[in-house]
Amino acid sequence: MKAMVFFILLLPFSMVLSLRAAELTPHQQLGRDLFKALIETDTTHSTGDTTKAAELLARRFRDTGFPEADVQIIGPTLRNKNLVVRYRGTGLKPPVVLLAHLDVVEAKREDWSLDPFKLTEKDGFFYGRGTSDIKDGVTGLSAALLRLRRENFKPNRDLILALTSGEEGGADYNGAEWLLTNRHELVKAAFCLNADSGGPQMRHGKKLMYSVQAAEKIYQSFRLEVKGSGGHSSVPTKDNPIYHLAAGLLRLSQFEFPARLGEITRRYFQTMSQIETGQTAADMKAILKTPPDSKALKELSAVPFYNAILRTTAVATMLQAGHAENALPQMARATVNCRLLRTSRLKKLRRLCDAYWPTIRFPSRPSKQPSRARPRRSRQKSCEQSSNRKREYGRGSPSSPSWKPAPPTAFFSASRARRPTGSVGLPGTSTTSVPTAKMNAWVCRISTMDWNSSIN
């Protein structure tokens, strides 16, 4: 039951008020140094390399006394490797995997007011790519294990730290999937705690709740492509691939998938209706009726966060067209990223697209397959466990089954193939800053907790 405590303590690493350098304990300084080094290591797919981040952490673990054999930097390519560290315990209980990813979403310097690959602390916030997704989690996990090792702590099971590549997409491979397929013996465990799947939420400086990701949507991208005969721009024609594609994308922007409430989403809005106030709370209660209140659905759908919980979404994310400014385009292409509820089917979506855009081709792309939904009892037990331990975050802070924005590879199934995670959630987003909120205090709190009782 207490496994969730460890999970709760790891996530808020970068969500606390900062302390001045003179006030930092050695353990807090370690956490700050790791965080800075990780943020300032470019781990994007295009220009970065997760191997560099893995190497800087591996040096720390080896210097702290971890055997060479228990610190492995592995992967199928020279770039973008994974780090797996085994903290050996007594073996009384089966291992647990502690998961986070090293790679981050692409970040162009011209799009940022501050350098995305420099940790900047300003007005109580940390700025930098990865400060909240999820190098704060990487730091919290690593700092905790390093301190425990220095204090000669012996857990009653092995703790396996898996820091992976390729989670954010665009990479040559997915690190978590590769480990499961090729080096399963390194990550075989009773269960996994994912640093990217929930966290404390605050509003106006007050603790609101602790969310736990119960499931996730299916990730699927489509490539829309229109081709034309081309020609010189001095003799334009009506048959212009850019215009055809733009017309299709305009129709897409005006389309809305129907709202669907499943078991988890219904529970989410039921819980949130008791936390929210005013019209928002009333709307949440109204959509739980049969049939749902249409006006309430419209109001909640106007909020992007709630809209993404309520329905399948499709949004254009990338464009490519033409080859010269004085030539008619011969091709126009758009990437449309979809996050599908389990009730949505790819074939139905494809037919919808064909009906909307008969002149647009859909080159084949690999489809993500949903995992089986976990039994309701196991999901409910997880939520109840978190609720029972809510005092670890603050008395009166309810726990809600929720959706942490994350891509489809967020869940690391480890050895529990019989109970994989379901597939419902929120689309991936990228936050440019997080509150520093007592970050240093968390390093100590994570490291000094009663590990034997916390992960029984």
Ranges 11-15, 94-98, 234-238, 334-338: which has the least confidence = 11-15
pLDDT of residue 313: 93
Name the residue with higher pLDDT: 121 or 356.
121
Say yes or no: 350 and 397 in one domain: no
Q: pTM for the whole thing?
A: 0.72
Q: Is 103 inside a domain boundary?
A: yes
pLDDT of residue 427: 28
pLDDT of residue 216: 83
Ranges 27-31, 191-195, 207-211: which has the least confidence = 207-211
Residue type, 225: E
pLDDT of residue 408: 28
pLDDT at 314 exceeding the cut of 60: yes
pLDDT of residue 350: 67
Lookup: tokens for 220: 């699927």
pLDDT of residue 413: 24
pLDDT of residue 374: 55
| Burial class of residue 195 in the structure, from the number of CB atoms within 10 Å of its CB (0-12 exposed, 13-18 middle, 19+ buried) | buried
Is the Cβ–Cβ distance between 211 and 402 less than 8 Å? yes
Say yes or no: 430 and 333 in one domain: no
Ranges 180-184, 266-270, 436-440: which has the least confidence = 436-440
State the average pLDDT over residues 443-456. 32
Q: How many CA atoms lie within 13 A of 440 on its CB side?
A: 18
**Identity of the highest mean pLDDT range in 197-206, 207-216, 226-235, 425-434:** 226-235
Residues 146 and 62: their CA atoms lie apart, in Å, by 10
Residue 144: CB atoms within 10 Å: 29
Q: Is 365 inside a domain boundary?
A: no
How many separate domains does the chain show? 2
Name the residue with higher pLDDT: 300 or 360.
300
Say yes or no: 106 and 207 in one domain: yes
Please name the residues in contact with 59: beta carbons below 8 A apart, sequence gap of 6 or more: none
Identify the band that residue 160 occupies on the pLDDT scale cut at 50, 70 and 90: very high
Say yes or no: 185 and 230 in one domain: no
Chain centre distance of CA 385 = 22
Please name the residues in contact with 211: beta carbons below 8 A apart, sequence gap of 6 or more: 198, 199, 200, 201, 399, 400, 401, 402, 403, 404
pLDDT at 7 exceeding the cut of 60: no
pLDDT of residue 124: 84
Identify the band that residue 430 occupies on the pLDDT scale cut at 50, 70 and 90: very low
pLDDT at 150 exceeding the cut of 90: yes
pLDDT at 421 exceeding the cut of 60: no
Say yes or no: 51 and 91 in one domain: yes
Q: Is 371 inside a domain boundary?
A: no
Q: Is 91 inside a domain boundary?
A: yes
Say yes or no: 341 and 321 in one domain: yes
Say yes or no: 148 and 132 in one domain: yes
Say yes or no: 78 and 135 in one domain: yes
Q: How many CA atoms lie within 13 A of 321 on its CB side?
A: 21
Q: Is 361 inside a domain boundary?
A: no
pLDDT at 303 exceeding the cut of 60: yes
Ranges 50-59, 78-87, 125-134, 371-380: which has the least confidence = 371-380
Say yes or no: 11 and 58 in one domain: yes
Tell me the CATH number at 85.
Answer: 3.40.630.10
Identify the band that residue 368 occupies on the pLDDT scale cut at 50, 70 and 90: low
Tell me the CATH number at 315.
Answer: 3.30.70.360
Say yes or no: 227 and 122 in one domain: no
State the average pLDDT over residues 138-162. 96
pLDDT of residue 346: 63
pLDDT at 344 exceeding the cut of 80: no
Q: Which of 217, 175, 239, 428 is nearest to 317 (CA)?
A: 428
Identify the band that residue 213 occupies on the pLDDT scale cut at 50, 70 and 90: confident
pLDDT above 70 coverage of the chain, percent? 70
Q: Is 370 inside a domain boundary?
A: no
Ranges 171-180, 253-262, 281-290, 411-420: which has the least confidence = 411-420
Say yes or no: 211 and 223 in one domain: no
Say yes or no: 42 and 142 in one domain: yes
For residue 302, the enclosing domain spans 218-356
Q: What is the mean pLDDT of the chain?
A: 78
pLDDT of residue 209: 84
State the average pLDDT over residues 356-384. 53
